[in-house]
C-alpha cells in the first residue's frame, strides 16, 4: 500500500483544488454518501503518515489558510516542538499494526449539514491505491476474466473550475479533525529523532519496530526492507543488541531513503529497490524471503541478504525473537 512519499505526492495533487467548490460527485464508495460532498468547498488538505485528510465546508464558509499562513503555522509548530521537553517511552513488546489501530479508533462521523464547519474526510489507501488529477486511471492489462476494464474510482470530485480528482482503492471515513503527530512522521521537519532512536533500542526484532506508526509514521514495508539492507542489519536483530551508532545509521537511512523516494516521485521517476522483491542483492548474493511479524499481529514479506545482513544473536540468558 502507498507509503509516506506517495501520500506526500497525493497531497500535492489535491492542494491546487483547495478553495474550490464541488460541482458534481461520483464513485463506487458505499462507506460514505458521496452526495454529501455536493456543493461543499474543499477547505484544506493535509497528509499525516499514511493518511490523507480533506476538509470540507459550506460553499459560503471560510477559504482556509493561505500559503503564507501555512508557513507561519509550521514555524510556530516547529518552535513549540523544539521548546518542549517530552518524556520518551519504549514501544510495547508487540506493537500493533497502524491500520488496525486507526480503524478501531476512528469515529465514522457523517457531516452535520452542508453548513458544518470543519468536517474532515480521512483517506487510507489500499494496495495500488492512488489519486489522479484531471485524468482517470486506465487498464494496463487484462483482468482475470480477460477483460480490459478500467479501474473504478471510489470517489470522483468535479469542481466548478472544471478540474476533477479521482480516488482509487481507498477507505474513507468522516472525522472531526486529523489525527496528527508530526514528531513521528519521518518526512516532517518536526520528526523527533531522539524518540525514534529510543524506540529502535527496544528488545524487539528491529523489523517489527520500524513498522510501528507511533514512532515511524509513513514508514511501510518497502522502506523497511530497503533501509535494513542499506544499514546492513538483519531484520530479526533485537534493537537492544544494536549499538547506538547502528541505530543512528538505520535512522539516517530511513530519513534519507524516504526523502530520496519522494524526490524521485516528484520528478516522475520510479523506485529502483536493491533488496525488495529481489532474488539477489546488488553484490550477487542469494536473497532470503520470509513472512515476519509479531505474535498475533500482521506478518509482512521481508527480504534480506544473509551475507550482507548477518544475524546478531542474543547472548546467553537473553530471549530470542519470536517469529
What one-character-per-residue DSSP string does 200-245 give? HTSSSBHHHHTT-TTTSBT--HHHHHHHHHHTT--TT-BGGGS-HH
Give the integer Cα–Cα distance in Å for 27 and 139.
17
The pLDDT of 18-39, averaged and rounded, is: 94
Give the integer Cα–Cα distance in Å for 187 and 200.
18
Confidence of residue 266 (pLDDT cuts 50, 70, 90): very high
Confidence of residue 62 (pLDDT cuts 50, 70, 90): low
Q: CB of 14 within 8 A of CB of 151?
A: no
> Angle of helix 244-266 relative to helix 193-200, nearest 10 degrees?
120
- pLDDT reported for residue 115: 35
Confidence of residue 64 (pLDDT cuts 50, 70, 90): low
Sheet strands side by side (includes 119-133):
22-26, 155-159, 164-175, 119-133, 51-58, 40-48
The percent of residues in the chain predicted with pLDDT above 70, rounded, is: 79
27: closest CA among 142, 144, 119, 164?
164
Residue matched to cell numbers 467548490: 21
More confident residue, 87 or 196: 196
Confidence of residue 242 (pLDDT cuts 50, 70, 90): very high
pLDDT digits (tens, 9 = 90+) for 191-221: 999 999 999 999 999 999 999 999 999 999 9
**Is the model's pLDDT at 108 over the cut of 70?**
no
Fold for domain 193-304?
Helicase, Ruva Protein; domain 3 (1.10.8)
In a 3-state reduction of DSSP, which class is residue 44? strand
Give the integer Cα–Cα distance in Å for 203 and 319.
9
- pLDDT reported for residue 6: 94
**Is the model's pLDDT at 113 over the cut of 60?**
no
- pLDDT reported for residue 168: 96
- pLDDT reported for residue 106: 39
Q: Is position 41 annotated as part of the catalytic site? A: no
Give the integer Cα–Cα distance in Å for 124 and 141.
25
The percent of residues in the chain predicted with pLDDT above 90, rounded, is: 65
**Is the model's pLDDT at 116 over the cut of 80?**
no
In a 3-state reduction of DSSP, which class is residue 297? coil
**Is the model's pLDDT at 156 over the cut of 90?**
yes
Catalytic residue among 5, 294, 300, 321: 300
**Is the model's pLDDT at 307 over the cut of 60?**
yes
- pLDDT reported for residue 147: 79
Q: Which one is the CATH code of 1-63+117-180: 3.40.50.300, 3.40.190.10, 3.20.190.10, 3.40.50.720?
A: 3.20.190.10
What b/e readout covers 108-140, taking b as 16+ CB neighbours within 10 angstroms?
Answer: eeebeebebeebbbbbbbeeebbbbeeeebeee
**Is the model's pLDDT at 56 over the cut of 90?**
yes
Give the integer Cα–Cα distance in Å for 18 and 115.
17
Q: Name the average pLDDT for the chain.
A: 83
Range with lowest mean pLDDT among 15-29, 58-72, 82-96, 264-278? 82-96
CA atoms within 13 A of residue 177's CA, in its CB half-sphere: 2
**Is the model's pLDDT at 95 over the cut of 80?**
no
Q: Is position 2 annotated as part of the catalytic site? A: yes
Range with lowest mean pLDDT among 130-139, 178-187, 292-301, 312-321? 312-321
pLDDT digits (tens, 9 = 90+) for 297-306: 889 999 999 9
**Would you state the cell numbers that stand for residue 242, as one nine-digit string?**
544494536
Q: Is position 294 annotated as part of the catalytic site? A: no
Residue 163: count of CB within 10 angstroms of its CB: 13
More confident residue, 270 or 102: 270
Q: Is position 224 annotated as part of the catalytic site? A: no
Catalytic residue among 8, 41, 50, 171: 50
pTM: 0.78
The pLDDT of 254-282, averaged and rounded, is: 95
Q: CB of 303 within 8 A of CB of 288?
A: yes
* In the chain, domain spans: 1-63+117-180, 193-304
Catalytic residue among 3, 98, 102, 226: 3
**Is the model's pLDDT at 85 over the cut of 60?**
no
238: closest CA among 308, 317, 311?
311
Range with lowest mean pLDDT among 62-66, 165-169, 263-267, 284-288? 62-66
Amino acid at each position: 500500500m502507498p507509503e509516506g512519499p506517495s501520500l506526500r505526492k497525493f497531497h500535492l495533487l489535491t492542494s491546487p483544488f483547495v478553495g474550490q467548490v464541488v460541482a458534481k460527485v461520483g464513485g463506487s464508495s458505499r462507506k460514505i454518501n458521496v452526495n454529501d460532498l455536493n456543493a461543499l468547498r474543499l477547505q484544506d488538505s493535509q497528509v499525516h503518515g499514511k493518511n490523507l485528510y480533506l476538509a470540507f465546508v459550506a460553499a459560503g464558509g471560510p477559504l482556509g489558510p493561505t500559503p503564507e499562513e501555512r508557513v507561519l503555522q509550521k514555524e510556530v509548530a516547529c518552535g513549540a516542538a523544539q521548546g518542549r521537553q517530552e518524556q520518551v517511552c519504549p514501544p510495547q513488546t508487540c506493537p500493533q499494526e497502524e491500520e488496525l489501530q486507526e480503524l478501531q479508533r476512528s469515529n465514522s462521523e457523517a457531516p452535520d449539514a452542508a453548513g458544518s464547519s470543519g468536517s474532515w474526510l480521512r483517506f487510507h489507501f489500499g494496495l495500488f491505491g492512488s489519486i489522479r488529477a484531471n485524468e482517470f486511471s486506465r487498464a494496463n492489462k487484462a483482468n482475470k476474466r480477460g477483460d480490459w476494464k478500467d479501474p473504478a474510482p471510489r470517489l470522483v470530485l468535479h469542481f466548478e473550475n472544471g478540474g476533477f480528482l479521482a480516488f482509487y482503492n481507498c477507505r474513507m471515513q468522516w472525522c472531526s479533525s486529523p489525527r496528527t503527530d508530526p514528531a513521528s512522521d519521518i518526512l516532517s521537519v518536526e520528526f523527533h529523532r531522539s524518540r525514534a532512536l529510543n524506540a529502535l533500542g527496544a528488545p524487539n526484532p528491529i523489523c517489527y519496530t520500524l513498522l510501528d506508526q507511533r514512532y515511524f509514521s509513513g514508514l511501510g514495508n518497502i522502506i523497511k526492507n530497503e533501509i535494513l539492507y542499506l544499514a546492513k542489519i538483519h531484520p530479526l536483530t533485537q534493537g537492544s543488541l544494536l549499538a547506538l551508532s547502528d541505530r543512528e545509521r538505520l535512522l539516517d537511512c530511513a530519513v534519507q531513503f524516504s526523502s530520496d523516494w519522494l524526490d524521485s516521485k516528484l520528478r516522475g521517476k520510479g523506485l529502483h529497490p536493491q533488496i525488495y522483491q529481489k532474488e539477489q542483492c546488488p553484490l550477487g548474493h542469494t536473497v532470503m524471503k520470509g513472512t515476519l511479524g509479531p505474535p498475533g499481529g500482521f506478518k509482512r514479506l521481508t527480504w534480506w541478504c544473509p551475507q550482507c545482513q548477518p544475524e546478531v544473536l542474543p547472548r546467553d540468558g537473553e530471549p530470542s525473537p519470536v517469529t
